């Protein structure tokens, strides 16, 4: 049985699929019984997904530029309404 500490240390391995079937089973079992680690693993997965999105956005310049443009026009509009 994994301890919370062991689980936290192995959480990134789990996300990257670098675990044996047996290790993964122990990991999942701990998550089923420990809500604290469940929350931790959930947040970690979200963070990793976000990092992947940012990384892939950085390699594709077009959607990134469009995003910056949208951000600019949004802040410009805000600036006008604030000046009023």
Binding residues for Zn ion (CB under 5 A): 4, 34, 37
Q: Which of 28, 49, 5 is nearest to 19 (CA)?
A: 28
Choice between 8 and 48, CB closer to Zn ion: 8
Number of CB atoms found within 10 A of residue 41's CB: 20
Choice between 36 and 77, CB closer to Zn ion: 36
Choice between 40 and 64, CB closer to Zn ion: 40
Compute the least distance from the CB of residue 35 to Zn ion, in Å.
Answer: 8
Q: Give the dihedral sign, CA 26/32/38/44.
A: positive
């Amino acid at each position: 049985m994994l301890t919370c500490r062991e689980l936290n240390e192995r959480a990134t391995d789990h996300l990257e699929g670098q675990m044996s079937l047996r290790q993964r089973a122990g990991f999942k079992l701990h998550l089923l019984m420990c809500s604290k680690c469940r929350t931790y693993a959930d947040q970690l997965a979200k963070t990793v997904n976000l990092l992947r999105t940012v990384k892939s956005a950085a390699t594709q310049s077009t959607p990134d530029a469009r995003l910056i443009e949208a951000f600019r026009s949004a802040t410009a509009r805000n600036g006008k309404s604030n000046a009023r």
